[in-house]
């Protein structure tokens, strides 16, 4: 058996302080677990030792950490699969209410049963604890409740699963992205939730729209996660659009030099192609700067993380093959803007092969047919490509959209995200709408 | 550097009975005897990768265990286009239609003297793609890469003509990502092709089902004009089952023994068989109850099923106004499953036909469904466990987001109407009757009235 770390009944790990005393440390604590103690077999005996270098050993006789292998080791009484009571020098290990750990109990205590865990299992558990989760199919946000859990059972939201099952499911989730847990015959699907909203701010006029989009995202969208702004404008000017008191860690700027009308999509393709840039985010929401977030968006993002396909507005175009006549009419009737660039990617790593093909198709179309035959909304070609490769569904984003037709948007119909047709008065209409929705909220809507 | 060589018409150079010969990639059972061009001791040689290495001696015109003195000259830019010509003492190597590779002096300008060098992994990726039949694009046309028209410059893949390098990229990507579909860039667009090797699967738990099986198989062959494989799982002796299989299916069926004493087989024989991996090479897998008749040619329907991706299908009915929705949804409500809006399921009918585009792609769903089924149906409080299998199936599919109501639509599947035999729209006709004798009589009456199409 490899080195085993020890988990206390209240799901903390045993560490040793500089004073040589054992103490329990929470798994939720940030940073490396310094002073972590593990159990290791040397010959026929078991010993407690520090995990990190330089190795120090627990001597049950002197009750101190020593640098040489002690003459006497520790022993354990089996209480279940990987559940044991530890004893040394005739005394059982006990954990008191203040977190102090000593070998002082004369009788075995049920409340001092420890879980033995391999180091890689502990690392995996910490990785899972650091994540936020959404539960399918409704997209409810949950977390692993380590404070409520015991050495036998773990709580994720209100769901209780055995520790062994959780570790096995966590291992599997690294292959397919989902954490699948069983509670008798019931099945629960959880997906890692770490959203990123990418706002594409291209062209000088977008700098008038960006402040409204960012402010609405925070105030009405009630979103406090990470945001990335991609722009071809000077970075200083982009940063000047950020809301006052913003968290600089939360909003990032990616500047590009591209000037043509495909710049936003080209930047998106470059972001996707980078294996590390977006890999940790689930889901990704791409929007242009001409939008107002008019309702809490977290629940929608939760459903995005659970989606099986890339989602965007359901319109498709290919200069040659395309599409049904009615689809061509939709393209012809589109006004620039109006959430046309909206795209949801549930998990970049899982969808990258399909997205790359779709972006390749866009490049090919620009090269083969020239820019003039590409419709004002080049996203339609991406959608066509994604549909061709079987990785497209419009249904998800359609639950969110509220976009301008001929009249101004009605704040009573706020649905999550509102888009405005692109013209030089767009920012004024956005501001008016944003104020109207805010007033409604203030009126207790 | 070791590389395999393809002839101009996509045959690969192999060693066969000590001779150098070109064989079509799709006819090879494995790649053991494919030869490589290898730089050794200052010159190029052809060599096998068998445990005993054999070297091609251009003087003798056959393979030998010793490294030959005479070397092969390679002309062309190997590292760029990969197209080359090989020369020996008597001129350029030349691939004949018979497969023989012979040196011949005056043929240098002809395409028969051109070869494409491919990395070993690329050959393997290409071999996997060429062995399979594919369903291509929106119109579900069948496609195969080895059409006789393909060359080392362009591949004829169904109606598409694909540049060789683009086809190779697609094959390589498929291999790398272990995905089912082949995504090909050709003719200024993207095309998705999925493998097509259908299998129809029956699982029988009672001897009474044998008479129904015979009728169902007859409909499959006569009305469905089915050309693929059939698999029948049952707890009955093989000889007894074989007596009910039509002669037309000879050589195309496989019998699997179900162990009704085992927890899994007993709880859910259908799922236990699907999860076992025996259908992993097939796409799609269509599971039929023995009481289902096939009413019309089935090939196009199967091709559409193959394109279903990672979703699966089982019949659900659209909810019409005035329907007793709570009653109809009781499986789902009972198990807490949420069906897609506007759909309901019905006892018996629901599991009559189950479509899985690929068991390999749906492995997670199948394993979870089986685990759930064993946990739930294994409880003694549910003696009539078979009644709940539909509920479990839908429940797991709904939780995992794996269910697609559009895959198997009402146009595919009908519940029989005893009052109007022969009045059917769907490809599959589910004959549901409580009494076995009534059901068999009903099936027989339907089968006699179904039209046979001339092949």
Between positions 147 and 176 of B, the ones with CB within 8 A of A are 173
Nearest chain A Cα to B310, which residue?
Answer: A308
- Examine residue B284 and say whether the peptide bond preceding it is cis (omega within 30 degrees of 0): yes
Domain-located, residue A390: yes
Are A189 and B401 a contacting pair at CB < 8 A?
A: yes
The two beta strands, A100-105 and A159-162, are unpaired
Its sign, for the CA torsion A113, A118, A119, A123, is negative
Which range among A216-230, A423-437, B406-420 shows the weakest confidence by mean pLDDT? Answer: B406-420
* pLDDT, tens digit, 9 for 90 and up, residues A348-361: 988 999 999 999 99
Quote the pLDDT of residue A156: 93
Domain-located, residue A124: no
Angle at CA A222, nearest 5°, toward A217 and A228? 40
A247 shares its domain with A283: yes
In whole angstroms, give the CA distance from residue B169 to residue B186: 12
Quote the pLDDT of residue A57: 92
**What is the helix (H) or strand (E) element at residue B216, kind and residue range?**
helix B209-222
What letter does residue A414 receive in the DSSP assignment?
Answer: -
Which range among B149-158, B407-416, B435-444 shows the weakest confidence by mean pLDDT? Answer: B407-416
Quote the pLDDT of residue A329: 63
B282 close to B254: Cβ distance less than 8 angstroms: no
Instruction: Find the domain containing A88 and state its range.
Output: 4-119
Please give the average per-residue pLDDT across B390-418, as a whole number: 70
Give how many domains chain A has, as a whole number: 3
Confidence of residue B79 (pLDDT cuts 50, 70, 90): low
**A·B CB contacts under 8 A:** 78
Are B190 and A360 a contacting pair at CB < 8 A?
A: yes
A200 shares its domain with A280: yes
Closest CB to B190 among A180, A188, A385: A385
What are the chain A neighbours of B392 within 8 Å (beta carbons)? 185
Closest CB to A185 among B177, B309, B375: B375
A107 shares its domain with A85: yes
A191 close to A160: Cβ distance less than 8 angstroms: no
With a cut of 70, say whether residue B422 has pLDDT above it. Answer: no
Please give the average per-residue pLDDT across A208-229, as a whole number: 94
Interface test with A, best of B400, B402, B405, B406 (most A CBs within 10 A): B400
A313 shares its domain with A392: yes
Q: Which two tokens stand for residue A224?
A: 């406090």
What are the chain A neighbours of B192 within 8 Å (beta carbons)? 388-390
Residues belonging to chain A with any Cβ–Cβ distance to chain B shorter than 8 Å: 136-137, 176, 178, 180, 182, 184-189, 306-308, 318, 320-321, 353-354, 357-358, 360-361, 364-365, 368, 385, 388-390
In whole angstroms, give the CA distance from residue B11 to residue B24: 4
Give me the helix-helix angle, A206-219 and A426-442, nearest 10°: 20
Closest CB to A137 among B173, B338, B371: B338
A282 shares its domain with A212: yes
Quote the pLDDT of residue B374: 75
Closest CB to B189 among A189, A308, A318: A318
User: pLDDT above 70 covers what percent of chain A?
Assistant: 94
Are A388 and B392 a contacting pair at CB < 8 A?
A: no
A184 shares its domain with A224: no
A198 close to A214: Cβ distance less than 8 angstroms: no
* Nearest of B74, B128, B98 to residue B21 by alpha carbon: B98
A212 close to A430: Cβ distance less than 8 angstroms: yes
Which range among A91-95, A329-333, B59-63, B192-196 shows the weakest confidence by mean pLDDT? Answer: A329-333
Last residue of a domain, which of A119, A139, A165? Answer: A119
Which residues touch B412 (CB under 8 Å, ≥6 apart)?
A: B301, B315, B353, B426, B427, B428
A46 shares its domain with A93: yes
Q: Which two tokens stand for residue A426?
A: 């767009």
A300 shares its domain with A252: yes
Please give the average per-residue pLDDT across A5-20, as a whole number: 88
What are the chain A neighbours of B395 within 8 Å (beta carbons)? 187
Domain-located, residue A125: no
- Examine residue A319 and say whether the peptide bond preceding it is cis (omega within 30 degrees of 0): no
In whole angstroms, give the CA distance from residue A159 to residue A165: 13
What are the chain B neighbours of A360 within 8 Å (beta carbons)? 185, 190
Closest CB to A137 among B310, B371, B399: B399
Q: What is the per-residue burial (b if ≥16 Cβ within 10 Å, else e) of B307-338?
A: bbbbbbbbbbbebeeeeeeeebbbbbeebebe
Which residues touch A227 (CB under 8 Å, ≥6 apart)?
A: A196, A197, A198, A199, A214, A217, A250, A251, A252
Its sign, for the CA torsion A316, A320, A323, A324, is positive
Quote the pLDDT of residue B317: 46
Residue A352, number of CB atoms within 10 A of its CB: 17
Last residue of a domain, which of A61, A96, A119? Answer: A119
Domain-located, residue A137: yes
Are A390 and B309 a contacting pair at CB < 8 A?
A: yes
Nearest chain B Cα to A364, which residue?
Answer: B188
CA A292 to chain centre: 23
Indicate the burial class of A303 (C-beta count within 10 angstroms; 0-12, 13-18, 19 or more).
buried
CA B162 to chain centre: 22
Residue A315, number of CB atoms within 10 A of its CB: 21
Q: Which residues pair with B193 in a beta bridge?
A: B136, B182
Last residue of a domain, which of A193, A225, A246? Answer: A193
Strands across the sheet containing B413-415: B292-294, B428-430, B413-415
B11 close to B95: Cβ distance less than 8 angstroms: yes
Domain-located, residue A423: yes
Residue B179, number of CB atoms within 10 A of its CB: 15
Q: Which residue has the higher pLDDT, A99 or A162?
A: A162
Which residues touch B30 (CB under 8 Å, ≥6 apart)?
A: none
B368 close to A187: Cβ distance less than 8 angstroms: yes
In whole angstroms, give the CA distance from residue A52 to residue A65: 13
* Nearest of A305, A73, A355, A58 to residue A197 by alpha carbon: A305
What are the chain A neighbours of B189 within 8 Å (beta carbons)? 318, 320-321, 361, 388
A282 shares its domain with A375: yes
With a cut of 50, say whether residue A252 has pLDDT above it. Answer: yes
With a cut of 60, say whether residue B332 has pLDDT above it. Answer: no
What letter does residue B31 receive in the DSSP assignment?
Answer: S
Q: Which residue has the higher pLDDT, B89 or A124?
A: A124
CATH number of the structural domain spanning residue A394: 3.90.550.10
With a cut of 60, say whether residue B343 has pLDDT above it. Answer: no
Domain-located, residue A216: yes
In whole angstroms, give the CA distance from residue B71 to residue B90: 12
Which range among A339-353, B76-90, B370-384 shows the weakest confidence by mean pLDDT? Answer: B370-384
Residue with tokens 């009126």: A443
Angle at CA B125, nearest 5°, toward B122 and B127? 105
Q: Which domains does chain B have, with CATH numbers?
A: 2-119 (2.80.10.50), 132-195 (no CATH), 199-449 (3.90.550.10)
A299 close to A185: Cβ distance less than 8 angstroms: no
Quote the pLDDT of residue B318: 40
In whole angstroms, give the CA distance from residue B90 to residue B86: 11
Are B401 and A354 a contacting pair at CB < 8 A?
A: no
Interface test with B, best of A135, A159, A187, A346 (most B CBs within 10 A): A187
CATH number of the structural domain spanning residue A52: 2.80.10.50
User: Mean pLDDT, chain A, as a whole number?
Assistant: 87
With a cut of 70, say whether residue A438 has pLDDT above it. Answer: yes
Residue-wise DSSP of A349-369:
HHHHHHHHHHHHHHHHHHHHH
A185 shares its domain with A204: no
Domain-located, residue A363: yes
Quote the pLDDT of residue A331: 62
Q: Strand runs (DSSP E) across B164-311, as ranges?
A: 182-186, 189-195, 199-204, 229-234, 253-257, 285-288, 292-294
* pLDDT, tens digit, 9 for 90 and up, residues B216-264: 999 999 999 999 999 999 888 999 999 999 999 989 998 988 776 666 6
Alpha helix segments (H runs only) across A253-403: 263-273, 298-306, 325-333, 348-369, 379-388, 395-398
With a cut of 60, say whether residue A445 has pLDDT above it. Answer: no
Confidence of residue A328 (pLDDT cuts 50, 70, 90): low
Which range among A406-415, B340-349, B370-379 shows the weakest confidence by mean pLDDT? Answer: B340-349
Are A184 and B395 a contacting pair at CB < 8 A?
A: no
A143 shares its domain with A88: no
Give me the helix-helix angle, B363-377 and B389-400, nearest 10°: 140
Are B373 and A358 a contacting pair at CB < 8 A?
A: no
Quote the pLDDT of residue B421: 47
Which range among A374-378, A392-396, B122-126, B150-154 shows the weakest confidence by mean pLDDT? Answer: A374-378
What are the chain A neighbours of B309 within 8 Å (beta carbons)? 390
Domain-located, residue A126: no
Nearest chain B Cα to A368, which residue?
Answer: B188
Confidence of residue A369 (pLDDT cuts 50, 70, 90): confident
A181 shares its domain with A215: no
């Amino acid at each position: 058996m490899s080195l085993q770390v020890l988990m206390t009944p209240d799901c903390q790990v045993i560490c040793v302080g500089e004073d040589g005393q054992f103490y329990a440390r929470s798994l939720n604590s940030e940073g490396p677990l310094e002073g972590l103690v593990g159990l290791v077999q040397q010959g026929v005996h078991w010993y407690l030792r520090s995990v990190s270098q330089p190795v120090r050993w627990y001597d049950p006789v002197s009750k101190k950490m020593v640098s040489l292998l002690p003459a006497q080791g520790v022993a354990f009484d089996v209480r279940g699969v990987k559940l044991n009571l530890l004893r040394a020098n005739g005394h059982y290990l006990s954990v008191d209410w203040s977190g102090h750990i000593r070998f002082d109990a004369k009788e075995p205590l049920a409340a001092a049963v420890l879980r033995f865990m391999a180091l890689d299992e502990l690392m995996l558990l910490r990785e899972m604890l650091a994540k936020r989760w959404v539960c399918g199919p409704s997209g409810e946000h949950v977390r692993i409740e380590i404070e409520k859990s015991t050495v036998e059972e773990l709580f994720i939201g209100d769901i209780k699963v055995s520790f062994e099952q959780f570790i096995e499911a966590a291992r599997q989730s690294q292959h397919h992205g989902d954490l699948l847990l069983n509670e008798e015959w019931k099945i629960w699907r959880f997906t890692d939730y770490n959203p990123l909203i990418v706002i594409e701010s291209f062209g000088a006029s977008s700098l008038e729209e960006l402040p409204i989009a960012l402010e609405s995202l925070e105030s009405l969208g009630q979103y406090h996660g990470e945001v990335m702004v991609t722009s071809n404008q000077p970075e200083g000017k982009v940063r000047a659009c950020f809301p006052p008191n913003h968290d600089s860690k939360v909003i990032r700027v990616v500047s590009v030099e591209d000037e043509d009308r495909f710049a936003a999509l080209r930047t998106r393709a470059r972001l996707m192609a980078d294996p590390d840039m977006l890999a940790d985010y689930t889901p990704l929401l791409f929007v242009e700067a001409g939008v107002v977030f008019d309702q809490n968006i977290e629940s929608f993002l939760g459903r995005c993380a659970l989606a099986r396909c890339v989602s965007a507005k359901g319109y498709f175009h290919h200069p040659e093959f395309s599409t049904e006549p009615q689809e061509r009419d939709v393209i012809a009737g589109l006004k620039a803007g109006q959430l046309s660039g909206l795209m949801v990617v549930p998990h970049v790593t899982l969808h990258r092969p399909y997205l790359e093909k779709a972006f390749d198709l866009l490049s090919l179309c620009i090269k083969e047919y020239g820019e003039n035959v590409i419709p004002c909304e080049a996203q339609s070609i991406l959608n066509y490509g994604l549909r061709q490769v079987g990785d497209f569904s419009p249904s998800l984003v359609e639950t969110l959209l509220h976009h301008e037709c001929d009249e101004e948007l009605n704040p009573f119909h706020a649905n999550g995200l509102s888009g405005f047709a692109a013209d030089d008065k767009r920012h004024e209409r956005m501001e008016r709408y944003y104020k109207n929705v805010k007033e409604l909220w203030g009126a207790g809507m | 550097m070791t590389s395999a060589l393809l002839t101009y018409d996509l045959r690969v150079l192999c060693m066969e009975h000590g001779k150098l010969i070109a064989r079509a990639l799709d006819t090879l059972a494995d790649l053991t005897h494919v030869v490589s061009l290898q730089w050794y001791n200052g010159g190029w040689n052809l060599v096998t990768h068998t445990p005993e290495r054999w070297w091609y001696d251009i003087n003798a015109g056959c393979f030998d265990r010793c490294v030959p003195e005479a070397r092969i000259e390679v002309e062309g830019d190997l590292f760029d286009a990969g197209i080359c010509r090989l020369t020996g003492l008597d001129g350029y190597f030349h691939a004949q239609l018979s497969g023989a590779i012979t040196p011949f002096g005056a043929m240098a300008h002809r395409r028969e003297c051109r070869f494409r060098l491919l990395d070993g992994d690329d050959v393997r990726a290409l071999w996997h793609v060429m062995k399979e039949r594919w369903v291509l694009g929106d119109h579900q046309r069948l496609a195969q890469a080895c059409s006789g028209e393909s060359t080392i410059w362009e591949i004829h893949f169904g109606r598409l003509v694909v540049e060789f390098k683009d086809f190779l990229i697609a094959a390589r990507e498929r291999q790398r990502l272990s995905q089912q579909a082949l995504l090909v860039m050709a003719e200024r667009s993207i095309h998705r092709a999925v493998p097509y090797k259908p299998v129809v699967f029956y699982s029988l738990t009672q001897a009474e089902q044998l008479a129904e099986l015979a009728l169902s198989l007859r409909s499959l062959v006569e009305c469905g004009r089915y050309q693929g494989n059939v698999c029948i799982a049952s707890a009955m002796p093989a000889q007894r089952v074989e007596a009910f299989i039509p002669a037309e299916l000879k050589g195309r069926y496989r019998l699997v023994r179900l162990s009704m004493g085992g927890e899994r087989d007993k709880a859910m024989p259908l799922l236990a068989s699907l999860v076992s991996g025996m259908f992993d090479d097939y796409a799609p897998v269509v599971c039929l109850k023995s009481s289902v008749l096939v009413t019309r040619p089935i090939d196009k329907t199967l091709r559409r099923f193959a394109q279903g991706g990672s979703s699966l299908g089982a019949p659900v009915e659209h909810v019409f106004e005035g329907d007793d929705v709570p009653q109809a949804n009781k499986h789902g409500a009972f198990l807490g499953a949420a069906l897609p809006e506007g759909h309901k399921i019905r006892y018996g009918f629901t599991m009559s036909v189950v479509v899985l585009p690929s068991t390999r792609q749906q492995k997670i769903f199948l394993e979870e469904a089986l685990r759930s089924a064993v946990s739930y149906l294994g409880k003694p409080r549910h003696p009539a466990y078979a009644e709940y299998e539909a509920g479990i199936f839908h429940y797991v599919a709904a939780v995992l987001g794996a269910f697609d109501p559009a895959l198997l639509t009402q146009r595919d599947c009908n519940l029989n109407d005893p009052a109007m035999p022969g009045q059917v729209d769907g490809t599959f006709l589910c004959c549901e009757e409580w009494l076995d004798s009534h059901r068999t009589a009903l099936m027989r009456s339907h089968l006699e009235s179904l039209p046979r199409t001339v092949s």
